[in-house]
Structure 1
């Protein structure tokens, strides 16, 4: 590509296009005069840019307001951003389920599909389940696959930048899986793969309990907890994508395994799965002393894992999500113990998004990618081509 200089007309056009598009997207609809006032550009410039965006399919002229024709003179033309010009997918590929959310270019969810998956199925079968869920979702929404502009994916494990799962012990056959490449065979748009806890913290910051907070730790609390962190509003992945893997802390010299912690007998709990642990917690609610002791050990282990992150990152807020967040008695012990261990105890809250957190975060990741194309100067031309695709 030719080198751009400060006075390059093509660069100025791209800047103006991004500015006008951003102004239109920020409101339901606007006149040329209103866009001129907001952007500070000249009216002829705004008019030319808007016509170009209409041609690209990103902007449309709206119908005149009811009653406007009765006023003297011709009503002002009004324009809006076409959120329906493309669509986004947010996928969750988990241990017990796969989920897909379909959204428009404003991030509004317009459809969802969830399917249960047995934890023992192999990688091929799990991927086939998510493909089938996507196909059904698109069919029901009446959205062609070619309308997709980006796909975000949240999954357990340490995920590299190219979408390869470097380590994923929660799912059979997941370690070493080129997940991004495998899913890309089904789509003609970018596929962005992220750790599930990282996707969840992005979701809570976007639409959940952390909307007003930029320093957040989200804990996917389960048998092997993971965490995602925002520092100054930016996702912290770590050097190799392994930040927040607090489920591995039990390897640091701890003698008690999760199977022993959650046992109500003299033998380790087998099989160690969510159903078995839920049964232990149910017994605890009924007053069984050994189950109460097991629940207490489980919660204290979780507190210690979370405290390690809190001491390292000093977040304003810790959000508890995942399977264990639905168990009775999780929040208060966490608050009390964090107050004991941490120099500045954070606020602690349950996730507002619940099971939808990972897929919602995946939608946000896809939306971030598209917004970079729509509003970044370097991506404006590419965005026009994308919006013009059938």
Structure 2
């Protein structure tokens, strides 16, 4: 890349273009704007804005807004109205994908985040890595086909999956999915599937991003989200920014059993003395339903489950002091968890946070992956660096 200089006219053009595009994309609720509107908002001259708009229209990122019938009638009496321009949201698309233990889900949006389609399929928990990747590819292909978009319009794909994920998308450790540890997931997907940038993130990290974007954590800056599952994990936002840790392993509270707590979730939730199997959302919901109905064995199982959850969450709360803890995964939608969890955090924590259930539920991971893909697209759209 050539060295940038303040005297470089191409740099100035890119700065001006970015300023106009950002206003079109985000200001005034995305309403069409006149050249005068854009000049006022960017503090650029009208001729400069006009030149920038021509370039953005040529690049397919802006379009002239159509006048409605009323506007046409007024134009006949008062002359031609001012031309208005809009951000061309349909100029590209982003996809968020969850590759999970039991489910592969994909969600597609335009460049403003407007959802254009979703597809979800179940997957066998014992499926080998190659089969799981193929099902993910097929799910995305089905979504693109049913939504009427084409692969050429994809700008970025985000993927959320269990495990410790490195910056290049390699799963350094992933015990929840067969063959996942050491898998160069980002590279495999970029080479064989999507033909665009692919961002791979831990599922709990993706989920906390989603809840802040569209869910229970809107407006919150310091948030912990716990995905309750076979091996619970947590995603954290500190000052509104995702906290991954030095090696991407922040929030792996499922490893706390290595500190001498050997009871597994299968035994914690057992009502028979034998490990609960299969251990999935339906089985857990059944245990909680029995507890609500007064079954003593189920009540004790629920108490053990909540106590373990409290210890896991308290460790993060004491370390990070978040304003909000969001509970997702198996516990999402199980209101029984909130009361006991709040009460126990009052006992253990110096400053108990607010606690809420996930608003997005099963859609949280794919939605967060979509948001990460959109962030990637926006970072490129609004970059002033030369290519």
Question: TM-score surpassing 0.5?
Answer: yes
Q: Which bracket does the TM-score occupy, shorter chain normalised?
A: over 0.9
Q: Residues 284 and 330 of structure 2 are in contact (CA less than 8 Å); yes or no, is this contact kept in structure 1?
A: no
Which residue is equivalent to 2:47? 44
Q: How far does the alpha carbon of each residue in 1:181-235 deviate from its partner, in whole angstroms, 9 at most, with x for none?
A: 1111211110000000000000111111111111100111123211000000000
Q: How far does the alpha carbon of each residue in 1:99-132 deviate from its partner, in whole angstroms, 9 at most, with x for none?
A: 0001101111100000011111111111111111
Answering whether residue 183 of structure 2 is matched by residue 177 of structure 1, we say yes
Of the candidates 349, 354, 363, which is equivalent to residue 356 of structure 2?
349
Of the candidates 326, 331, 334, which is equivalent to residue 324 of structure 1?
331
Please state how far the C-alpha of 1:290 moved relative to its aligned partner. 1.6
Q: Residues 233 and 253 of structure 2 are in contact (CA less than 8 Å); yes or no, is this contact kept in structure 1?
A: yes
Q: How does 1:49-198 map to 2 (within 5 A)?
A: 49-65=52-68, 66=71, 67-184=73-190, 185-198=192-205
Please state how far the C-alpha of 1:6 moved relative to its aligned partner. 1.3
- Equivalent position SS for 1:118: coil
- Equivalent position SS for 2:194: coil
Number of corresponding residues: 380
Which residue is equivalent to 2:36? 33
Structure 1 outlier segments of 4+, above 6 Å: none
Unaligned runs of 5+ in 2: none
Q: Distance in 1 between matches of 2:46 and 2:6?
A: 22
Q: What TM-score comes out, normalization by structure 1 length?
A: 0.94
Of the candidates 331, 336, 340, which is equivalent to residue 347 of structure 2?
340
Which residue is equivalent to 1:385? none
Please state how far the C-alpha of 1:248 moved relative to its aligned partner. 0.9
Which residue is equivalent to 1:315? 322
Q: How far does the alpha carbon of each residue in 1:36-72 deviate from its partner, in whole angstroms, 9 at most, with x for none?
A: 0000000111000000101111001112342342341
Q: How far does the alpha carbon of each residue in 1:4-55 deviate from its partner, in whole angstroms, 9 at most, with x for none?
A: 2112111110100000001111222100000000000001110000001011
Q: Distance in 2 between matches of 1:276 and 1:211?
A: 31
Q: Residues 87 and 102 of structure 1 are in contact (CA less than 8 Å); yes or no, is this contact kept in structure 2?
A: yes
What is the root-mean-square deviation in Å for CA atoms of aligned residues? 1.4
Q: Distance in 1 between matches of 2:40 and 2:77?
A: 23
Q: What TM-score comes out, normalization by structure 2 length?
A: 0.95
Which residue is equivalent to 2:12? 12
Q: How far does the alpha carbon of each residue in 1:324-370 deviate from its partner, in whole angstroms, 9 at most, with x for none?
A: 22334111111111111111110011111111111010110000001
Which residue is equivalent to 2:379? 372
